[in-house]
Homo-oligomer: A and B are copies of this chain.
Amino acid sequence: MGKVIFDVSMSLDGFITGANPRPEEGWGGLGEGGKRLHDWGFESADPRNREIIAGWATIGAVLVGRTTYDLSILNWGADGPTGPARTPTVVVSHSVPQDVPLGGVYTFVNGVEAAFETAQKLAGGQDISTTGANVAQQLITLGLVDEISIHLVPVLFGSGTRLFEGLDSEHVPLETIEVIETAEAIHLRFRVVK
């Protein structure tokens, strides 16, 4: 069984998009100025940033919420969040959206727990990656997340989509596994202590 890794880029003040994220091509889904949170992955020549992205090759399935899907689909297209790797991507959703790309990597499942089971089957023993705010926090609350990987970007956003809106759980202790400092992001990896 692979690990479940919650992986997200976040401003120092806890936002994962800028203000006014909207479903459109380009970077609209990341909100105003939100692309900055992902520059470490796209615009950095630092090999340590490239290595982190290369590490995603072991991901067997991606699990996201419907909001993340809606904001991202015009960029993801049929191949999904990992591009040419075409990683199976499970979307927690009450319904199958219109205009799902032909030949897409997506499976739509109602309910977080059922979606998680589907992702486990599709991952075939490899790791599951989850991102976004809502679904990931539900998974943490359910005790299903093994690692939290935060790409902490040195900027204060002040507004946007807040990652941690308040977990419906007791305090969740973490153990720091790794800290990698680059100019564009500080990569923090934690194990969830169960």
Which A residues are within 8 Å of any B CB, using their own CB?
A: 12-14, 18, 33, 36, 140, 148, 150, 152, 154-159, 163-164, 166-176, 179, 181, 183, 186, 188, 190
Chain B contacts for A12, CB-based, 8 A: 148, 150, 164, 174, 188, 190
| B156, A166: Cβ atoms closer than 8 Å | no
How many angstroms from the CA of A166 to the CA of B163 in the assembled complex? 13
Chain B contacts for A167, CB-based, 8 A: 13, 156-159
How many angstroms from the CA of A166 to the CA of B170 in the assembled complex? 24
Chain B contacts for A152, CB-based, 8 A: 188
| B158, A171: Cβ atoms closer than 8 Å | yes
How many angstroms from the CA of A12 to the CA of B171 in the assembled complex? 11
